[in-house]
Amino acid sequence: MNEFDLIRRYFSRLTQGGEGVKLGIGDDAAILGLPAGHELVVTTDTLVAGRHFEVHADPAGIGWKSLAVNLSDLAAMGAQARWVTLALTLEQADDAWLAPFASGFGELATLHRVSLVGGDTTRGPLSITVTAMGVVPAGRALRRDGARPGDAVCVTGTLGDAALALRRGADLDGDALRARLDRPTPRLAAGLALRDRAHAAIDLSDGLAGDLGHILRASDVGARIEADRLPASKEFLRHLSAEMSRVALQAQGGDDYELCVCLPPDALERARADLDGLPLTVIGEITVERGLRFVDGAGATIAVPPHGYRHFDE
């Protein structure tokens, strides 16, 4: 099977009927139409076997997650997801791997009405690069640089599930925590609901401490976070053992793909009402004093290194 057969067999169906797709898969490049008065939002992520996922991991889960991590970036910008491209580097064109990969990728794409409009295939060590594109009304995108002193620092959902699943490993196969790691939920609807209410936002991919730090630097502010208020799922609390640090897992673990937003306090009630039951938890406050500070229930500072995962740290 050559690369053209591969594309036709597994991915051509995902370009059909997409909004704004004037020309999709099958030509040298795609032609896309933007709605009047909107801007294009673009993000790219690469997942590498042995680094971002296990070589023998479920290919359907890999397909889902490779798209989910990109859609999460669009959610953090308050964008409506529309189109994606997919670049696959494969050691071989293996139907036993490609069929479930395409199924997982397509399942999430269909769920969010996202069209696959192009990409590339090549031979080499397994890696997956997805570029996702969305639209947002001009001047209304959520950004990192708008946080203001007095804003409530909030997170959607719960934190630490994926980090704990990675820590516990194979004994969690089939568990809800494992699903949070393998098939994260991009908070696209939440991003749209919060777009005109939040002052700043980011998706939590590399851990709360590191990702919130990006907002603080871009906005030239600080934050005080109450560790006891970090939201945890029942599954997280059930599997957490005494030798594990809850704060470390929730503040540094990564792979949550929840949204962290900075909201004026008077917008909280309406924001929660717009989220259709998705929890929005206040975990702290933006401060004039620079830096990120985690505190316990007594107000004492907790040592949490202020960065998340970094690819080129030794």
For 87, the token pair is: 């670049």
Instruction: State the pLDDT at residue 306.
Output: 63
Phi-psi region of 254 (alpha: psi -120 to 50; beta: other; left: phi over 0): left
One digit per residue, the tens of pLDDT, for the chain of length 314 reads 666 777 777 787 787 667 899 988 878 899 999 999 999 999 999 999 888 788 788 999 999 999 999 999 999 999 999 999 999 999 888 889 999 999 999 999 999 999 999 998 899 999 999 999 999 999 999 999 999 999 999 999 999 999 999 888 756 655 788 899 999 999 999 999 999 999 999 999 999 999 999 999 999 999 999 999 999 999 999 889 888 899 999 999 999 999 999 999 999 999 999 999 999 999 999 999 999 999 999 999 998 876 655 554 54
Q: What is the per-residue pLDDT across 158-183, written as a single tens digit (0 to 9) for each? A: 999 999 998 887 566 557 888 999 99
Q: Which of 280, 278, 286, 228 is nearest to 262 (CA)?
A: 286
pTM recorded for the entire structure: 0.93
* Tokens, residue 90: 């494969």
**Per-residue pLDDT, 140:** 97
C-beta of residue 149 within 8 angstroms of C-beta of residue 288: yes
Provide the pLDDT for residue 312.
42
Alpha-carbon distance of 63 to 71, in angstroms, equals 13
> Which residue's entry shows tokens 């039951």?
277
What is the spatial distance between Cα 32 and Cα 25, in angstroms, rounded to a whole number?
Answer: 12
**What per-residue confidence (pLDDT) applies to 173?**
53
Which pLDDT does position 1 carry in this prediction?
62
Whether the CA torsion 47, 50, 52, 53 is positive or negative: it is positive
